[in-house]
Each structure stands twice: as structure tokens, then as C-alpha cells.
Amino acid sequence: MPHFLGIDIGGSVIKSGLYDETGHEVGVASMNDAAIVEHVGWSERDMDAMWRSVCGTIRQLLDRTGTPPADISGISFSAHGKGLYLVDRDGKPFRNGIISSDNRAMPEVRALRAAGVPAKIHPMSYQQLWPSHPAAILRWFRDNDAEAYGRIGHVLMAHDWIRYRMTGHLGCEITNISGSNLLDVNTGTYDPALLALFGIEDIGDRLPAPVGSTESPAGLTAAAAAETGLRAGTPVFGGFFDVVSAAVCSGLADDSRINVTMGTWTIATWTADHIPASDYPYTWGRYCIPGRYFVHEGSPTNAANLEWFVRTFMSGHDRPYAECDRLLGTVPPASTSIQFLPYLFSSNLGDNLQGGFHGLANAYGLGEVVQAVYEGICFSQQVHLDRILALSGRDRRLRLTGGPAKSRPWMQMVADIAALPIEVVHVEQSGCLGAAVAAAVGSGAYPSFIDAMNAMCPAASPIEPNLALAEPYRRKYERFLELAAALDRLPAAV
């Protein structure tokens, strides 16, 4: 039976997973790849160490599973979006790679916003403007490190760098580079007019050609085979942005479903065969299925907030997350005035917002506080979901993935707040599995993503909403939005 290797390149952890053609996980190996923080707002990684980590996880995986390298029919990737991985004209790194959590380009972003650039770029790139976009970081180099800017030979994203080390072929994978603010999403090509809006038009000849998710421009080189323990010539496919990987694991092949991933970030994703007109600047990219586009909405306002709460207030419990679920069951739904703002890392409703509780009273205990944390995360998630539903219409099925999907009470709350039926998909390693699906399609094991999803992705468990709770949750959600708006009007905290 053929096997497929999926490599997941996160911002801090690198994983390699091996799957058969039914989607069965043969094994997973991981290594930490900690960020390098040399200045406030910077987030970097050593690119050669990153490659060594990839090689290390592959060798661990082969050793643990005893899989002969000849049994692996294809290799592919899932990787974080945004950030920047630069090599010189000889294809060598000359500085650290930049991770998607990097904020050094915020002054450039503010200046571009003040100049009205976001409204000009959106009809081409279909992106909003963030400091972690490759285009914004390149502008930062132009303005702040001319020596490094002049040394740029090729601009790559995270998995493009690893694929290059594996194959010697330079290319930018389409789903990820379409979220860079460098690519015209309409045409799938780099547009000099778009680059000129960032003042980086001279970088155009250093942007490698786009590569399809299931395209294999070259196989594994002998040198890379020696380092990884794999077989030389093994096909290496384009892969995709990790948002797309999660969507693939949820079976998003048409416009009938919306995927909501609950992790550190909330990410809501929907696909369509065209980009509909809208007054809101939705973020669109090219999907892995030719002729389809994906829209996503997200913010780091999800489960990391619960992790903080558990770490800070429940460290004495052996199973703190199970205890949170138990406590949630001791309090009637939507029965308190407590609001939790899940903005410990960032906000999706205003630049001045910070995390906190509002409405605490001496009659409340830990159960009410835990309920408020769950509700606040769900309300923040609903902000993104409402935006997607406004675009797609409400006659869609919601699919939920991520760590919180293990909590049945929490998933019931998601369904009740959305007032929509949901389908819960339990995927431990969506990055690795999604990448393996891409390799399976690219290798010809399946003729299409639809066939591969049906065969390799797990089934979903349905949860119906309690519609009797729709009105009380609607009222509390409206108060949540009013509170956030009022706090955002206050002067920014020092």
C-alpha cells in the first residue's frame, strides 16, 4: 500500500506525519523550532536549523514506523502563512527567516494605510494589510536595511524554502503566495502595479513562479535523500497554506460547507467558484482545487485564552480541561451577566481592546467564570462566522475542527450561539493529514481532491442547536459587541 508524507511547518513546531491511502495515521514525529527574538516585535527562525528540524522529524518517523522509503509515493506540505524566507542569488539564506507573528513592519503598514493603499491593493490582491505580509516586510527592508534588501535573490514562503532544499527547484506555492499581497489573485500572477503600491517594484524579478498544490516540478535530490533518509526521486508536491490544509481535512470541496478551526486562532473558511462583490474587504486566496477561491476570517482570540485561564487559575487540577467542562455543566446557559473579552493576544473588534472580565459579582463562582470564558471565545468566533455567513448565506453546514472539538459541551455552545447545526471533525494533525492528501492527489492515487477527501478525511459527528437558547444568546452576544465598542472608544492604555 502506498504511503504519503505530510510535513507541517508551524511557527514554532515542525511535524512530519505518515499516512496510507485510507488516511490512517502510521505515525507522527515533531520537533520544536523556537523563535529567535532579537528586538521587540521581531519573530525569526534560523532557516538552516529549520531544514535540520525537518530532516530530524523525517528520520524519527522512518525509524519509529519502520517504513521502507520506497513505500513513500509522495511528499507534500502545510505551512504557516505570511512571514518571509529570503535567499540570495545563489539560493543561500543570508539572514533568518521571518515568522508570521513578526510585527516589525507596523510603522510601514500605518504609513501605507494613511496613504490609502489598502483600498488600492484589495481589488488586485484581495488582502487586507498586516505587518506580517511579505509585501509589508519587504517594504520594511527597503526602508530600514538596504544592504539586506539588495542581497535578495529569491522571495519564498515557509514551505517553499523546504521544498527548495528538497528539490533544488524555486517556486512559490499558489494557496500561500496568494495571501502575500504580492500576487494578483484574479490572474494568479505577480502584478507590477501591485508591487509599485508598496514601493517594491524592483523585487518583481526575484519572485519565483507559482506552483500548484499538487504540482511536482522536481523530485527529491540525492543530497536531500541522504539527509532525510528518503528515496532520491520521490515526488515532492507544492502543498498549501495551513488554513487550506484544515479546510481540506474538513472536506471543503464546494460552497456547501464552512470550516471553523478553533485553536490559538479562530479561522472560518469558505470556498467559491468566483469572488463575489462586497463592500467589506474580505480576504481571498486561490484554493487548491483549480477554479476555486477561498475566503477566510480569523484572529488569535480562541483557545489560547482558555489555556491562559487554566494555567493561571486551575493549575492544581490533574485534568483541568475536563474540569472546565464539568463546571460548565453546573451553570444554566447564558444565565449570567459576566462577559469575557478574549483579547489576551489581539482583538478582532478594535485596536484599543484588551482582554478582561466585565460584570463579575460576589454571587458568582468558578463555574460562572468558566462559562464566561467559553462564551467570550464563542462570541469572538461568531464575529468572524457572521462575516462569512453574510457572504455565503446561512444555508451552509458548519464544520468544526481543532483542539476544542474534543469538548462536547463547548461544541454544543458553538451550535447554540450560531443557531445552526454543526458537524464536528476530529483531526489530530490537520497539517500533516492535509499535506498527505495533497501528495495522494498529486501522485495519482486519487483523481481529485474530492475523491481523496472522501477516502482519507475522518467522518463528522453532527450536533443540533438548542433553538430555545437562540434568543438569550443573541441578547448576550449583542451586549458583548456593545461592550467591545464602548471599550474601544476609550483612550489606548499606556
Taking the C-alpha atoms of residue 321 and residue 310, their distance in angstroms, rounded to an integer, is 8
Per the domain annotation, does 163 fall within a domain? yes
Q: Are residues 403 and 478 in the same domain?
A: yes
Report pLDDT for 259.
95
Q: State the residue for C-alpha cell 515542525.
A: 14
What are 120-160's pLDDT values in tens digits?
999 999 999 989 999 999 999 999 999 999 999 999 999 99
Secondary structure class of 15 (helix, strand, coil): strand
What are 433-489's pLDDT values in tens digits?
999 999 999 999 999 999 999 999 999 999 999 999 999 999 999 999 999 999 998
pTM of the model: 0.92
Q: Which of 208, 242, 276 is the last residue of a domain?
A: 242
Residue 202: give its domain's CATH number: 3.30.420.40
Q: State the residue for C-alpha cell 528518503.
A: 230
Per the domain annotation, does 80 fall within a domain? yes
Q: Are residues 220 and 163 in the same domain?
A: yes
Q: Are residues 229 and 294 in the same domain?
A: no
Nearest to 375 by CA among 363, 359, 361, 390: 359
Q: Are residues 300 and 203 in the same domain?
A: no
Give me the numbers of helices (H) and strands (E) for the chain, helices first please.
Answer: 17, 24
Beta strands per DSSP E along 80-207: 85-87, 97-98, 154-156, 172-173, 183-184, 189-190
Query: Do 492 and 352 meet the contact criterion of CB atoms below 8 Å apart?
Result: yes
Helix 134-144 and helix 106-114: axis angle, to 10°? Answer: 100
Secondary structure class of 256 (helix, strand, coil): coil
Report pLDDT for 492.
66
Per the domain annotation, does 439 fall within a domain? no
Q: What angle do CA 52, 57, 60 make, to 5 degrees?
A: 120
Q: Are residues 257 and 215 in the same domain?
A: no
Per the domain annotation, does 142 fall within a domain? yes
Q: Are residues 176 and 62 in the same domain?
A: yes
Q: Are residues 381 and 295 in the same domain?
A: yes
Domain count, the chain: 2
Q: Are residues 259 and 294 in the same domain?
A: yes
In eight-state DSSP terms, residue 477 is H
Q: Which of 196, 219, 242 is the last residue of a domain?
A: 242
Q: Are residues 14 and 78 in the same domain?
A: yes
Query: Do 166 and 221 meet the contact criterion of CB atoms below 8 Å apart?
Result: yes
What percentage of the chain carries pLDDT values higher than 70?
99
**φ, ψ dihedrals at 102, nearest 5°:** -70, 135
Beta strands per DSSP E along 150-224: 154-156, 172-173, 183-184, 189-190, 210-211, 218-219
Per the domain annotation, does 433 fall within a domain? no
What is the residue-averaged pLDDT of the chain? 95
What does the buried/exposed string (b/e) look like for 130-158 if buried means 16 or more CB atoms within 10 Å of the residue's CB? bbbbbbbbbbbbbeeeeeebebbebbbbb
The residue range of the domain holding 358 is: 251-426+464-494
Q: Are residues 226 and 364 in the same domain?
A: no
What are 38-75's pLDDT values in tens digits?
898 899 999 999 999 999 999 999 999 999 999 999 99
Per the domain annotation, does 449 fall within a domain? no
Q: Are residues 266 and 208 in the same domain?
A: no
Q: State the residue for C-alpha cell 484588551.
A: 354
C-alpha cell, 388: 462569512
Strand order in the sheet with 397-402: 283-286, 293-299, 266-272, 257-262, 397-402, 422-425, 460-463
Q: Are residues 311 and 331 in the same domain?
A: yes
Q: Which of 242, 270, 296 is the last residue of a domain?
A: 242
Per the domain annotation, does 62 fall within a domain? yes
Q: How far is CA 311 from CA 318, 319, 321, 349, in A?
A: 12, 12, 10, 26
Q: How far is CA 100 from CA 87, 274, 412, in A?
A: 18, 27, 32
Per the domain annotation, does 436 fall within a domain? no
